[in-house]
Structure 1
Amino acid sequence: MAEEIKDEIVLNDDELICVLTGNKKKANAKELMLQSVILQMNEEYGFEMSDMKRDFTFSFQDEEDKRKRVTVDLGIFRAGATKEPENLERICIVCDTKVKAADSKKGVESTLNYALRASSCDFGLWTNGDELHFSQRIEDAVGNEKIVDIADFPGVDESIEDMERRGDRSQPRKPANDSLIRTFKRCHDYIYGNEGRKKDAFWELLNLIFCKIYDEKRRYLCAERNESYHRQFWVGVKERNTIEGQKAVAKRIKSIFEQLKTDAIFKEVFAGNEQISLSDYGVAYVASEIAKYSFLDATVDVKGTAYETIVSNTLKQEAGQFFTPRNVIKCMVEIINPTINSRVLDPACGSGGFIVMVLDHVRKQITKNMFPELDGALLEAKANSDTVNAKVKEYAENMIFGFDFDPDLKKAAKMNMVMAGDGHSNIYNINSLEYPNGTLPDIDRVSESVANSVKHKGDIKDCDSAYSLENAMGKFDCIFTNPPFGSKVEVASTISENYELKAFTAPEVLFIEQCYNFLKPGGKMGIVLPDGILGNPNTEPVRKWILEHFKLLASIDLPVETFLPQVGVQASLLFLQKKTAMERLVDPNSEMYDVFMAIAEKVGKDRRGNVIYEKDDDGAEILFVEKKEWASYNHNGELIARHRTERVKHVDDDLPKISSAYKKFLEGSR
């Protein structure tokens, strides 16, 4: 539970509280990166906050016996020891993005390596946010020293020898805060800028990410077969620094890629003729960056945000397509509240944001049901256990569906679902507005998959008998969607003529009717709609049609900032329930029932996409004391719960409050 702090520290918009010292700092690019490094050292590498000191200065004598001083941005000391130079175990140098690694004054050699030579410390890190470099100081038997590049440095109670010896048995870390986002971006930028792959850097990165995921999934297969699991996707700490090591890594990773293309889970994602086209060094570089993390142990929020950051920057918003913010998706899923018995569809799934969130929502329900005695970080860690994953895989294979007419988005969504932890996903390249007709590749596969789902659940009697048993119509419990809309988007008359609302060629209108067709009687949907449909005089027939066919569950007005800076639209979230045949006999004008209505004034960001935080009446950002808890592996490979107390700002977002208010509204209406 958070405790609000008042009258202690007043923050301006450009200030933050250091997680290590509790002091006020300017929130510039360097400071934000330093905060990220501090959290990373604590949560991923296991160093205690009490053993860290920022802006640590020490003096030394150079070769000419002159006394000089060195300041490092973050010093990490031997556990429990005094913060003296002789107790330094790790040095971290942080620069802003303008400083490059080769800079003569602030680069790796002139700052990090210089500090390592000046101290007794053996390991260091240098970063500007875009680049990340690790160094090791080595002394030979007669005292000669040199600095070498390494792919990573050891965590707490770990040596470089441990890392080298473990190799394929090493335990990857659970990513903390924004480190996975930075890693994905760093790898993407490297491929884009150094490998001559400007057009397909995104896909080259995904090839390697999925080699990593495939290799992690092998541990479950090995467990089923009672076989010993050894990682294939790993990079030795010094392996990428030699030509021989680079070749060995590239051979290892490319072998995994050939295996996964024939695997049942992945062969629907890949055509089979794809190749990893990066240089040996490029493969070794990217692989070493992502090998240190466990993707399956990372939360869906962490993976999803990292993945969608790259997707949204790569697949441009064309033909009215733009990506739905995660807080909007989460609010919609929480309000509809799908369960393990819900067959779910997004008929315009894009990169898969809604269906991935549904999978995570149901995963949490499954985990809590299986481990009712646990809570907090240890319960969260169980969400990726073998028993939970088996249930999640079964659910995703049989109950989650996504359609999109863009083949690239189909592939992106498929990969997003695999990354979220499902074994297989029903994502198809069709035009939902044409269905059950159409010429796109997957049209025939949809009916078969939905029929298998109905057979699996045994709910044919609950499906809408007004539709054929041979297609997907009338068979979904829940629909979530943000259909393409905008003045430039119009549906062909050959498609719209098949709809009752054929007078309207805007896709968002026809999607409302098609979602009705996809739903079971009593099925629920959450849809993002432009405000014009709900308020313009010329769309009154649409509103009349909605009230004749649906019960209105909830309506949430969104501020214009919601989709900025992608696109400026005034939109609302509409939640509807398909009427049964009996309910449709009632005149909508005489119906009496409660409807939940809310206005979201803040969605956590301004018009430029900058995060905004809760403020007091005087306009100062409010600080809260919170206990931050997380699970991590110790050096013995045991999962343990760790925590710290920190002062944090809360994002000023009304949507979590609205979804909570809706739950209370439901409880009060029962």
Structure 2
Amino acid sequence: MADTKVIVIPEGKICDYVDGKFRNDTPEEYVRQTIEKRLVNEHKYLLKQIRIEYTLQMGSRKPRADIVIFDKDCTEQTQENIKIIIECKKEAVEARNAKEGVEQLKAYMSACLNCEWGMWTNGRQKEVYRKVKNEKGQIEFMDYNDIPSADGNLEDINRPKRTTLKNAYDDNLLFTFKTCHNHIYVNDGLQKQPAFFELLKVIFCKIEDERNIPKPLEFYATSEERSNPDGQLTVKKRISKIFDQVKNKKKYRLIFDANDEIKLSPRSLAYIVSELQKYSLLNTNIDIKGKAYEEIVGANLRGDRGEFFTPRNVMKMVVEMINPGVDEKVLDSSCGTGGFLVNAMTHVIEKLERQFEEELGMPKANWSNEAINTFRDRISEMAKSNYFGFDINPDLVKATKMNMVMNNDGSGNILQSNSLLPPHEWTDDFRSNLAEALGIDKSAIRNHKTIEFFNVIVTNPPFGSKIPIKDKAILEQFELAHVWENDKKTNTWAMTERLQASVPPEILFVERCTQLLVPGGRMGIVLPDNILGAPGLGYIREWLIKNHRIIASVDLHVDTFQPRNGTQTSVLFLQKKTQEQKDAEEKSGTMADYNIFMAMVEKVGHDKRDNPTFKRDKEGNEILVPDTNSVLVLGETGEGDRTVSHEQKKKVEDDQTPDVPAIFAEWKTKEGLAW
């Protein structure tokens, strides 16, 4: 395009998504920008229909409405022709606020003769009203699920069809999850964690309903049902039937008990269903789903055992570098929210999708329902056979299962266990389920020498001096739990028979992951830098070199895990040596000589307070570049087809993690590494 020049953003400003004007970067503005993107990308309103900060005449007052929308054919965008008004507030402002709450919105709607719809939101709460006149000619405001989309179809607001489900855009799914969770927390008297798990049940129902092709969708609540007690009971009965189907599925038996039920009040359930029903949770972009889900999980289930969830950009970098194959068995031994597994599975699904497109001779968009179901069955089978996650926290196990279900149904092998325990002390359920998934006899899982099951491990183990491992039965399994002595003359280390009194968990996890890998298997593991550099831990590095080929080390910026943890970390990529390789090296007395890929990630896209950081020009100003992913449109052709014009601009995240995999892939080819 001709106008792809870089635009500089003044300090403290943002570029408005709709009109391109610079506005102050405030919490309220963040809410408005997210809503603007939803209006255009989900509701399909044209730019020419939307006005920002529109001045209203209300007696002697001239307030400005945040967003107003006109009919697309409106030639005079006057106050009397406004169809929709939207007011956006920062999170701290409540809907009942006398000055800035929903009453302000209703006053604005009343002052606009033909305004039929209004929406008020603060990012956590959303209220939608339709203005009508009763039999006496008086104005009334009816609660509605949502404002209508550009086509004006009200039926889809109440009961969406499969063809009208929308893919969430930007942070709107995160807004919706927060809104639902906040509603449960406030209205049902549940604490954060129980409120989260009730929301989880409803999300399961939503996904189950979407998968029930080709039957009509049953996950819905009409505006009328949401607004009266009888309707709310009807919704609860309808969703409870779906939840019964969920519970009866074998793959969900470790998530829900047979007598489990949705404990939300009918009023809350109807509200949450109405908020979720318009989206397709199956088809929404994985990054949007992942960000929304993992952020709400982290806010509600973060524990105190060194659980610092890995940023999504780092997980994506690690998975792309480790490059799991379609038939490889993948494990995250400390799965947390499941982000590593979801990324790994998505990486492989993209490969599988390309295979299917070649076999069928057509792009995915043209597949039949039968082909789509066959593809989903193949993904489910792959997930059941090849994807595994362990975590000691039972709540995180449930959360990971949900994340996998939401991202292509990989829920089968997420298991709760303290995986550092001796294998013969693993619970019978854990050993039975693991053996069944691996297709082996449970009795084969005897000790730490008989657990070489996985081709690929991607993980971020809990780390920290506050949670040391002191149990002798655990420590005895690990060479790295022994006392090692250093020969200062040769600068070599020798393991003694004595055990250390306590060992940080991340050291044991390195060795446990090695034990879990098949010979030749590879891992990407996040570790504190002291393991790689502290003089007193030289024995760990010697052990690593003896047992692995060190493929790569990527040094992460100190802010990577901020604001909760300032530990300096790196990602270490290792390939387990075969016994033959180790024997040959021991016989020759020399280690194989090879190159190691080294990289430093100095920018991770956020600062120590977790605020996003963006690239700047030489003067320190943020810059804008063309947004190639934007679907924003200005007008239509004579045939009614949308035409992309008005090139959208976006800030550029100051993040180097996406650059590393491509550089690594080029290096790997030169080194002759085939995976």
Q: Shared topology, TM-score over 0.5?
A: yes
> What is the letter of the counterpart of residue 102 of structure 1?
R
How far 1:387 moved relative to its partner? 4.2
- State whether structure 2 residue 53 is matched by structure 1 residue 74: no
Deviations 1:148-175 (A, max 9, x none): 11111211112325645x5677833211
Aligned residue for 1:556, secondary structure, equals strand
> What is the letter of the counterpart of residue 353 of structure 1?
G
- TM-aligned CA distance change 1:358 to 1:130, over 3 Å: same
Match of 1:396 in 2: 383
Indicate if the aligned counterparts of 2:79 and 2:112 stay in contact, CA closer than 8 A. no
Match of 1:662 in 2: 664
Match of 2:79 in 1: 85
Residue among 400, 411, 414 paired with 2:398? 411
Match of 2:279 in 1: 293
Q: Which blocks of at least 5 consecutive residues in structure 1 are unaligned?
A: 61-65, 224-228, 455-465, 633-639
- TM-aligned CA distance change 1:432 to 1:162, over 3 Å: closer
Deviations 1:395-426 (A, max 9, x none): 11110011112222211111111111215421
Spell out the pairing of 1:103-142 with structure 2 (5 A cutoff): 103-139=97-133
Match of 1:649 in 2: 651
- State whether structure 2 residue 460 is matched by structure 1 residue 482: yes
Match of 2:328 in 1: 342
Match of 2:8 in 1: 9
Residue among 172, 183, 187 paired with 2:165? 172
Aligned residue for 2:423, secondary structure, equals coil
How far 1:123 moved relative to its partner? 1.2
Deviations 1:621-662 (A, max 9, x none): 121112224699xxxxxxx99866311111111111112211
> What is the letter of the counterpart of residue 217 of structure 1?
R
Match of 2:148 in 1: 154
How far 1:86 moved relative to its partner? 4.5
Match of 1:210 in 2: 204
> What is the letter of the counterpart of residue 506 of structure 2?
E
How far 1:255 moved relative to its partner? 2.3
Deviations 1:357-386 (A, max 9, x none): 1111112222233336888x969999x943
How far 1:433 moved relative to its partner? 1.7
> What is the letter of the counterpart of residue 490 of structure 1?
P
Match of 1:636 in 2: none
The CA distance in 2 between the partners of 1:250 and 1:168, in whole Å, is 20
Match of 1:586 in 2: 585
- TM-aligned CA distance change 1:601 to 1:555, over 3 Å: same
Decide which moves more: 474-483 or 88-97: 88-97
Residue among 386, 407, 421 paired with 2:408? 421
How far 1:617 moved relative to its partner? 2.0
Q: CA RMSD in A?
A: 3.0
Match of 2:185 in 1: 192
Indicate if the aligned counterparts of 1:363 and 1:392 stay in contact, CA closer than 8 A. yes
- TM-aligned CA distance change 1:631 to 1:217, over 3 Å: farther
Match of 2:473 in 1: 494
The CA distance in 2 between the partners of 1:356 and 1:494, in whole Å, is 33
Decide which moves more: 580-589 or 566-575: 580-589
The CA distance in 2 between the partners of 1:669 and 1:381, in whole Å, is 43
Indicate if the aligned counterparts of 1:447 and 1:470 stay in contact, CA closer than 8 A. no
Residue among 322, 328, 337 paired with 1:351? 337
Indicate if the aligned counterparts of 1:339 and 1:362 stay in contact, CA closer than 8 A. yes
The CA distance in 1 between the partners of 2:570 and 2:18, in whole Å, is 41
Indicate if the aligned counterparts of 1:4 and 1:623 stay in contact, CA closer than 8 A. no
How far 1:99 moved relative to its partner? 2.5
> What is the letter of the counterpart of residue 91 of structure 1?
I
The CA distance in 2 between the partners of 1:402 and 1:239, in whole Å, is 40
Deviations 1:143-202 (A, max 9, x none): 5432211111211112325645x5677833211110111111111112112211115111
Aligned residue for 2:456, secondary structure, equals strand
Spell out the pairing of 1:203-242 with structure 2 (5 A cutoff): 203-219=197-213, 223=214, 229-242=215-228
How far 1:299 moved relative to its partner? 1.8
How far 1:524 moved relative to its partner? 0.9
How far 1:440 moved relative to its partner? 3.1
> What is the letter of the counterpart of residue 534 of structure 2?
N
Match of 2:497 in 1: none
- TM-aligned CA distance change 1:641 to 1:298, over 3 Å: farther
Q: Which blocks of at least 5 consecutive residues in structure 2 are unaligned?
A: 483-499, 634-640
Match of 1:261 in 2: 247
> What is the letter of the counterpart of residue 439 of structure 2?
N
Indicate if the aligned counterparts of 2:81 and 2:113 stay in contact, CA closer than 8 A. no
- TM-aligned CA distance change 1:183 to 1:441, over 3 Å: farther
The CA distance in 1 between the partners of 2:421 and 2:642, in whole Å, is 51
In the superposition, the TM-score normalised over structure 2's length comes to: 0.87
Match of 1:606 in 2: 607
Match of 1:23 in 2: 21
Decide which moves more: 363-372 or 245-254: 363-372
Deviations 1:454-474 (A, max 9, x none): 9xxxxxxxxxxx998999722
The CA distance in 2 between the partners of 1:28 and 1:621, in whole Å, is 16
- State whether structure 2 residue 569 is matched by structure 1 residue 571: yes
- TM-aligned CA distance change 1:259 to 1:338, over 3 Å: same
- State whether structure 2 residue 261 is matched by structure 1 residue 275: yes
The CA distance in 2 between the partners of 1:235 and 1:420, in whole Å, is 24
The CA distance in 2 between the partners of 1:513 and 1:213, in whole Å, is 38
> What is the letter of the counterpart of residue 302 of structure 1?
I
Q: Percent identity?
A: 35
Match of 2:620 in 1: 619
Aligned residue for 1:560, secondary structure, equals coil
Spell out the pairing of 1:372-383 with structure 2 (5 A cutoff): none
- TM-aligned CA distance change 1:630 to 1:623, over 3 Å: closer
- TM-aligned CA distance change 1:396 to 1:469, over 3 Å: farther
How far 1:22 moved relative to its partner? 1.4
The CA distance in 2 between the partners of 1:102 and 1:319, in whole Å, is 39
> What is the letter of the counterpart of residue 457 of structure 2?
I
- TM-aligned CA distance change 1:163 to 1:649, over 3 Å: closer
- State whether structure 2 residue 195 is matched by structure 1 residue 201: yes
Indicate if the aligned counterparts of 1:75 and 1:90 stay in contact, CA closer than 8 A. yes
> What is the letter of the counterpart of residue 577 of structure 1?
Q
Spell out the pairing of 1:29-44 with structure 2 (5 A cutoff): 29-44=27-42
- TM-aligned CA distance change 1:70 to 1:498, over 3 Å: closer
The CA distance in 2 between the partners of 1:9 and 1:379, in whole Å, is 42
> What is the letter of the counterpart of residue 93 of structure 1?
E
Match of 2:538 in 1: 540
How far 1:606 moved relative to its partner? 0.7
In the superposition, the TM-score normalised over structure 1's length comes to: 0.88
Decide which moves more: 264-273 or 507-516: 264-273
Decide which moves more: 650-659 or 415-424: 415-424
- TM-aligned CA distance change 1:400 to 1:42, over 3 Å: same
